[in-house]
Chain A
Amino acid sequence: MNCRHCQELFSLYFDKEIDQQSRSLLKAHIEACRHCKMEWQAFSSTVEFLHNIPMQKVPPGFLAGIHAKLEQQTRWSRMKGWVIGTGERKVAMSTAFAMLVVGFATASLMQVLPVTQSGNESGDQTASLSIKSPATQQAPMMVADNTTVGNDENQAYYPGIPMLSEYEGKAKTSLDQFAMVPRRQAEPRTPAVNFVSTSTSNMSSSYLNEPLSSLSRRDQVPVIKPDLQITIHTSANDEHVETIRQIMHSPHWRTSIYNNDTLLLSVPAGNFDILHQICCTRKTSFSPDYVRTSRFLSPKRLLTVAVKLD
C-alpha cells in the first residue's frame, strides 16, 4: 500500500467502514510511514473534533411557532379559497368571468363590423354596400389613378400644383392631374367598384349616386349628395382643360375632385350665378333641368354642385 492509497482510505478507516484486510494493511502502513502517521493524526483529530461539536437546543416556542404558522397558512388558504370560490360560488364566478369576456368580445366586434348608413337608401342597397372592402372606399377627393397618370410610376406630385405638362399631350384629360395627390400611394380601386356596381354603361355616374360606406368607422366618409349636377359636354381637349382651369381656379367656391371626371364644388348660394354663367357658355346639361332657365332655390347657404365632364 502506498501513501496515496492509504490517505484515500482514511475516511473509511475512521468510520470503520473498511474490510478487515485493508484495515490491517492500512494500520501497518501508518505505523511504518511517518508522513502518513502525521496526516492520520491530523485527520482523525479534525473529524473527532467535528463529532464533538455539540448541537444547539432549539429556541423555546419552536413547536408552537410551527402550529402558529400552519394556522396562519390555513387561514390564508381559506381566504384564497373564498376568493377563488368553491361549489356554487365557483360556478358563479366563472360564469361572470365568461360573460365579461363575451361582453368585451362583442364590444370589439362592434368596432370592426360595418356600420350601415342611416338615410333613405333601401335595405338591399345598404346590405350590398356593406360587404365592400375598405379598398373600394375611396375618399371622394384626392384620388390618384395610376392608369390615367401614365407609365411614369416615379411621377412626383405636389399638392395644389397642377402638372399641365403631363396632360397637355394626351388625348383625354383627366381631373386626376389636378388632384392633390396624397403622399401615400392610394390602392387600386376600380375592380372593387365594378364588383359592387350593377351598371356597366355609366359606371362613374352610378358610383356618384351610390352612398359610400366603410367597414371601419375610421375610414368612413360622409356620403356626398350633390344638390345639383351639371354635366359639361366638351369634345375639344383645349376647351376641356380651360373649363377645368376656370372652375378650379375660381375664388368664388371651394373645389375638390370627386372622381375621375367629376368636380365637387362647394358654392355659396350667392355665387351660384357665376358658376351658372361659366357653365352656360359651354354645352351643358343640368340636373334638375329647370336650373338652366330659372334660379336654383335652396334653403342652404352652401350648395354642393357636382360638375361632370363628359
Chain B
Amino acid sequence: MEISGSKYCHSGCSMDKEELKQETEKLVQEFLDGNTQAFNRLVLLYQTKIYHLALNFVKSTVEAEDLAQDVFITVYRALPRLREKSKFSSWLYQIAINHCRNRYKKLNRRGFFNSISLDDDETYIQVKSDGNPEKSLQRQDTIKLVRSTIDSMGKAEREIILLRDLQELSYDEISDILDIPLGTVKSKLNRARTSLKDRLKKIYQDL
C-alpha cells in the first residue's frame, strides 16, 4: 500500500482550509438542488481524511474502507436533513466518529484487535521509500511505535489527538464534533499531548 508524501493527497489537497470550506458549501447546496454528481465531488474531497480516521480506529485497511464507505452512505441519506450547511465538515466528522466508535466496539467484542498485528504489512501503513531505505525503515518503525502508543491511550485522549494532530482540525471544529466546550478541548488536548510525550519518553528511555 503506497502513501503520498503530502498531508492532503486527495483532489482537494491543493486547497487551503478556506477554499475547502467554500467548495464544500457550494457542493452541498448543489447536492440539495438535485445534482448527485456533487456528492461524488464531496466524497473525493473528504475520502482520504475519513478513510485515514477510520484506519486509525480499526487498524485494518479492509475494515477501514468498509467503514469509510458506510460513513459516506449515511451522509448521502442524511444530508437533506442537515440544518447548518456551513458546518458540513464538523457534521461529517461527527458521523464518522460515531461510526468509528461503534465499529471499534463491535470489532473489539469479537476479539478482532487481538488477532491483528501492527507489524502486519496488510494492516498498517507502509511508508513510501524516499531513496534512503535505512532512514525510511527507521521512520516506519517510529510511526508504528507512535501509533501503538496512541492506541494504548484512553478513548477520549486518543480521539482528541487523532482529530487535532492527525486530521488537523481547528479547536472550534473539535468542540463541535465532540460536543464539548472550547476550554475543555484546549485542556484535554494539552493533557493528551503531554501524556503521549511522557509515554514516548518513557519508551525511548527504556530502549
Q: How far is the CB of B22 from chain A (nearest CB, A)?
A: 22
In the bound complex, how far is the Cα of B190 from the Cα of A67, in angstroms?
Answer: 40
Of A49, A51, A54, A63, which contacts B127 at CB under 8 A? A54
Chain B interface size band reads 35 or more
CB contact list, A77-122 vs B, under 8 A: none
CA distance A69 to B77 in the complex (A): 12
A56-B6 contact in complex given A46-B196, A46-B200, A62-B68, C-beta closer than 8 Å = no
The tally of CB-CB contacts under 8 A between chains A and B is 108
Chain B residues with CB under 8 A of A9: 190
Q: Across the interface, which residues of B come within 8 angstroms of A42, CB to CB?
A: 197, 200-201
Known: A46-B193, A47-B165, A69-B73. Contact between A55 and B8, CB under 8 A?
A: yes
B10 to chain A: which residues have CB within 8 Å?
A: 58
B186 within 8 A of A: yes
| Interface status of B7 (Cβ within 8 A of chain A) | yes
Question: A54 contacts B3, CB within 8 Å?
Answer: yes
Q: Which of A10-18, A219-227, A278-286 contacts B (4 or more CB under 8 A)?
A: A10-18
Given A12, A54, A65, which contacts B7 in the complex, CB threshold below 8 Å?
A: A54
Q: Are A59 and B61 in contact (CB under 8 A)?
A: yes
| Complex contact B76–A70 (CB within 8 A) | yes
Best-surrounded residue of B6, B142, B143 (most CB of chain A within 10 A): B143
List chain B residues, Cβ under 8 A from A15. Answer: 171
| Chain B residues within 8 Å of A39, by CB | 197
Contact of B69 with A10 in the complex, beta carbons under 8 Å? no
Whether B3 contacts A55 by the Cβ 8 Å rule is yes
- Asked if residues A58 and B51 are in contact (CB atoms below 8 Å), the reply is yes
Complex interface: chain A residues within 8 A of B9 (CB)? 54-55, 57
A194 at the interface (CB under 8 A from B): no
Q: C-beta contact mask, B54-73 vs A, less than 8 Å → 1, else 0?
A: 01000001000100111011
Q: Are B146 and A43 in contact (CB under 8 A)?
A: no
Q: Bound complex: CA of A47 vs CA of B72, how far in Å?
A: 29
- Asked whether, in the complex, the Cβ of A53 is within 8 Å of the Cβ of B143, the reply is yes
**B residues 3-42 with Cβ under 8 Å of A?**
3-10, 40
Q: Which of B1, B5, B7, B193 contacts A47 (CB 8 A)?
A: B193
A50 at the interface (CB under 8 A from B): yes
In the bound complex, do residue A65 and residue B125 qualify as a contact, i.e. CB atoms below 8 Å apart?
A: no
Q: A10-B194, A17-B171, A46-B196 are in contact. Are A58 and B165 (CB under 8 A)?
A: no
A17 cross-chain contacts in B, Cβ below 8 A: 171, 186
Q: Does A19 contact B (CB under 8 A)?
A: no
Q: Which residues of A contact B (CB under 8 A)?
A: 7-12, 14-15, 17, 39, 42-43, 46-47, 49-51, 53-59, 62-63, 65-66, 69-70, 73
In the A-B complex, the 3 residue pairs with the smallest Cβ-Cβ separation, listed nearest first, are A11-B190, A50-B165, A46-B197
Other CB < 8 Å A-B pairs besides A43-B193, A50-B165, A55-B52, 7 of them?
A11-B186, A42-B201, A56-B1, A56-B125, A62-B65, A63-B44, A66-B72
Pairs A–B under 8 Å by Cβ, sample size 11: A39-B197, A47-B197, A50-B161, A53-B146, A54-B3, A54-B6, A55-B3, A55-B52, A62-B47, A63-B40, A66-B72
